[in-house]
Chain A
């Protein structure tokens, strides 16, 4: 760990925090249907879209209506993306004349992009045509992110409203999220990335001769436009296989910094939207604090572990110390351009948020450092989390925390003036159940079936971690991978596709049910007898509940994976 590393991490935190209030203010206005500085430009487009699609803007939906609209939209998107991949060979914008994508891979990829996961079982530059990348994948990067934001807003409305049956209009929320939030930021930052050297073209791949005289094919394409929404919408699907480690996706330290900021920006600002909508910004900051503390703990744990380097190198003539000429520590799988601090930070950020973009190979992290990304995802992608999904996931944990400990103040637990009763508890538990069910269930299958075992690149606990990471990443809709696994097999494509589907939609439906139930409740005015949910005590409590209820479930699996690998490494056993 170096002072330089600390300063960069601190700078990152400051920039993210500075964005929270202005972005929160802006998004609150957008989703309350109020005028913003962009309205003059975007409002006519918005109206036009509603006119064409027949959406009645003022007509609100119940939670069922909202959920059905969301499911129908996602299903249609899934089918369209599947068709696009299967037909890409006969469609335009395919200069490399890539073949149709195989059915199991097309299924997996469609689910992956519809669920905001961006798990990539394929090598993009040799699998997907420009048309598929732009009209299929990039488009879904926008709408799946917008769907997440809309859902979070729906839940927040459940808290903010009283005695009503409706939680908003899905089509309107989704349209506004794309039009007012994602699109303007993408255009501005996209141009910035082009300036910094990220390509944006439709050219055929370039063949170059290297200094050694070898031939090298350099992939091209509309990279910048996908790059920005990849981070901003916490999608994570790279234009190239190497993702943000590729110099065309992430050319320098500045773009790296901007990308990390993009990943957290909306997730962090949504806590402020939440606070504003429920009428007390402090409530949002309390949630922000929970996320921030868990994030910092993870970031410094990874940074510390990676800085120390591999203990097995100690006896070898290797200089692993940090110095002016080298980052030191464990540089396996890392870009020299980014070093230990920015790689560790990116690793934590991308797995806290369900982004899954990587500038580091998580597979090459030391065992305990590699456990952190897993834990981050296992906790439910709630540490800032996916755009929208992070907030609604966190609020479900808050409901459970309030219910468990809120009783201790001697009242029926209430959160933000809404009584937490049987229905909310039932739905929150149903949603939270989904994570261990899918992660542990599929991993248990994969590590006994030959079809699952044959894809693992390594033996022992590291191989176990690869399978565990894959299903964790899929269920948590993260999309990053422990790179050793060969996931492009019918078994993994199918089971991971199912895990992504389960992890997204089986979580959302109970969450929306809670939104509907909360919206219909009366608001209990706060008094001195009310459990305070905007102070340090609540922050500590919520962290405890997340770690115990969300985390402990995975302790056996983690013990057999990264923890055992770490202990074995110390004993000199490698896998």
Chain B
């Protein structure tokens, strides 16, 4: 995943002492059984550890055998618990550091409250005293006291406190950029804001709570996984609790501490210890990506998304169209058309206009000319004529929509300007039906290609058409291809007509499109998809997007959007970058994959642990079972100790993976599964055999058992 240059993400390296040190303290605090009970597997470990501690103390006082061995097992049991807590504390620590930064933005600003929109007298009140519906006046240098909607004025606002982006943004009344966030600062001008959030539930407050993990609730998938882990633990209770009876039949005995060691190594402590860290880290990855998920449920849903609705403009195409080709009519050279088009666009400062100048220069080497030298008058675009152009001396050049240019040329021919008699007579013969037909044919072809045709006429003579093209963002086609491999269908939403939309859709490589989209059509599309059992993600910013955002399973509201949109979605993108939807999906998938990988790993580990502990347990009364000691561990005690040490150390070893997440590749489910099964399933079988053997050698060398 690309890392963005963001001031808030630079501090948080994995082993930052600022996070590690408090986490060590946190690991001890989290031993509190009331906190522990949230995690069934580790809670069970805590109970048996307490039990063993009591037995050990009894043996210590009464004088039992093998105290050194018992103590080591005991110590490693508690270390296992501490490692688990440490993992969670580290994950939380990263969020806490972010929350601290955010808190700085929530100052005790005083607000200038207005009695009414007309009344300009202000009353200074503490920001905390503001209620929903209050009006405040905010001017240059002021901090916006709470979330609200601008009802009057326009201002540039520094939102770096929440977005990390230092470039100011424009906020104005009316339209889709009217929302302001408490804690941000007005840099210039003034605005009147109607407060929309109650104190304590502002955007900033929610953001702090989210990144701190204070309100973290288990997600549906996490709950299901916890049930599986609890069930597995219970199965191993039966497996281990019946051993004393079996051993008794065989004329032997197995000590409680050895049974506990077997039990703790068998139950899925690895995933149990790391489960909540994985969840927290998933949220944290989103936050660092400048996306705020309002719930973990939304992050999980992102991984499940089947259909992605994407706006054309800004997401699939660059905002502006560009000239791509000059299409002359019969009898006109391309150079002639390019020359006229360039002249007509010299003073056109729109991106389209500039792109025409550039294209003529690049293709035909026609250099831009000075307007004053030509004694030319620029005719700007007007909504009435839908034309722009230039009057240079006797030359009249116009460019514009095909029908507008045709109408212009025909009216010119009917009413020739008095000073240009000769030209008009010539023109009349030039507007032939053949030329019109030719022009319309070219225009249709361009529309079918997804472009916008721009007709050009000079002195009443039709020259041809400029092909204005929607520019598809670089690499977007590959990204859609990747999404398709992931099984996600992309649907382009556009206001264009179906013909143009189809052409752009084909070029961008989206699977489907919704042309001439209205908010109602969008909402209907989402509902239809959901009726087929699909999960839909979309992003939006306008108030009219709010119903669709609320209906979508993953609704990403742009931070620049209206308050209504931000309330309706379940994620907010602080950078207001609609393409991020794709990364959000990836982060959701990564979260689930990490959980699955570590669960598989944890369960696969059990095979080796059985082979370490069982022979050690039974060899006293059935010496032949030594053959099961396939790792050839030195002594029964060192075998048991090695297994439990491995079990504890693997937790720490996997903390970075659980925080970073399993690498995600946009390939089909089958190949992801094959790869992950190989790494975490087969690897999970093999790694502990090697690990336990190595620890056994170390334990032997250190003389611990």
Residues of A within 8 A of B (CB): 162, 400, 403-413, 417, 420-422, 424-426, 429-430, 432-433, 436-437, 440-441, 443-445, 447-448, 453, 460-461, 464, 522-525, 527-532, 535, 537, 540-541, 544, 548-549, 552-557, 559-560, 563-564, 567-568, 570-571
Contacts and interface: CB of A to CB of B under 8 A. Distances in A.
A527 B662 CA distance: 22
B224 A425 contact: yes
Contacts of B241: 444
B625 A529 contact: no
B588 A557 contact: no
B683 to A, nearest CB: 12
B668 A528 contact: yes
B670 A404 contact: no
Contact of B228 (A417, A429, A525, A535): A429
A444 B246 contact: yes
A560 B625 CA distance: 9
Given A405-B600, A412-B303, A537-B673, 4 more contacts: A407-B597, A422-B220, A549-B232, A552-B607
Interface centre among B304, B599, B673, B677, by most A CB within 10 Å?
A: B673
23 contacts: A162-B533, A408-B593, A410-B486, A410-B589, A410-B664, A411-B303, A425-B224, A425-B231, A432-B235, A433-B231, A453-B249, A525-B306, A527-B487, A528-B669, A541-B673, A544-B681, A548-B603, A549-B603, A552-B606, A560-B250, A560-B618, A564-B250, A564-B625
A184 B544 CA distance: 66
A323 B223 CA distance: 61
List 8 A-B pairs, minimum CB-CB distance, nearest first. A529-B487, A407-B596, A410-B589, A429-B231, A527-B487, A567-B624, A408-B596, A444-B245
Contact of A441 (B238, B487, B595, B669): B238
Interface string B593-637: 101110110011011001000100110001011011000000000
B242 interface: yes
A422 B670 contact: no
Contact of B221 (A412, A424, A443): A412
A528 B484 contact: yes
Nearest to A460: B250
B13 interface: no
Contact of B239 (A429, A436, A528): A436
B607 A441 contact: no
A203 B346 CA distance: 116
Classify the interface of chain A: helix, strand, loop or mixed: helix
B238 A437 contact: yes
A549 B220 CA distance: 23
A535 B662 CA distance: 24
A162 B246 CA distance: 47
Contact of B532 (A403, A429, A460, A525): A525
Given A443-B246, A535-B670, A405 B628 contact: no
B430 interface: no
Interface centre among B221, B489, B664, by most A CB within 10 Å?
A: B221
B484 A524 contact: no
Given A405-B600, A529-B669, A549-B232, A412 B304 contact: yes
Contact of B669 (A403, A430, A522, A531): A531
Nearest to B535: A524
Contacts of A420: 224
B275 to A, nearest CB: 12
A553 B237 CA distance: 10
Contacts of A557: 242, 246
Given A407-B595, A555-B610, A531 B628 contact: no
Contact of A433 (B235, B246, B533, B681): B235
Contacts of A430: 231
B680 interface: yes
A410 B589 CA distance: 4
Contacts of A426: 224, 227, 231
B515 to A, nearest CB: 24
A541 to B, nearest CB: 6
B449 interface: no
Interface string B471-491: 000000000000011111100
A552 B672 contact: no
B142 interface: no
B624 A409 contact: no
B592 A410 contact: yes
Contact of B533 (A407, A522, A559): A522
B485 A407 contact: no
B599 A407 contact: yes
Interface centre among A405, A417, A524, by most B CB within 10 Å?
A: A405
A162 B531 CA distance: 12
A442 to B, nearest CB: 10
Contact of A421 (B224, B534, B596, B618): B224
A571 to B, nearest CB: 6
A385 B334 CA distance: 79
B249 A527 contact: no
Interface in B186-233: 220-221, 223-225, 227-228, 230-232
Given A407-B599, A556-B239, A448 B245 contact: yes
B532 A407 contact: no
Interface string B271-315: 000000000000000000000000000001001101000000000
A465 to B, nearest CB: 11
B37 interface: no
Contacts of A453: 249
Nearest to B266: A552
Nearest to A400: B228
Contacts of B600: 404-405, 408
A190 B340 CA distance: 98
A448 B249 contact: yes
Nearest to B680: A408
A518 to B, nearest CB: 13
A537 B532 contact: no
A533 to B, nearest CB: 10
A483 B85 CA distance: 52
B248 interface: yes
B242 A408 contact: no
Contact of A407 (B234, B250, B593, B618): B593
A412 B47 CA distance: 32
A567 B625 contact: yes
Contacts of B487: 527-530
B247 interface: yes
A525 B488 CA distance: 11
A417 B485 CA distance: 18
Given A433-B231, A525-B532, A531-B673, A441 B242 contact: yes
A181 to B, nearest CB: 33
B385 to A, nearest CB: 50
A528 B235 contact: no
A503 to B, nearest CB: 14
A408 B236 CA distance: 24
Contacts of B589: 409-411
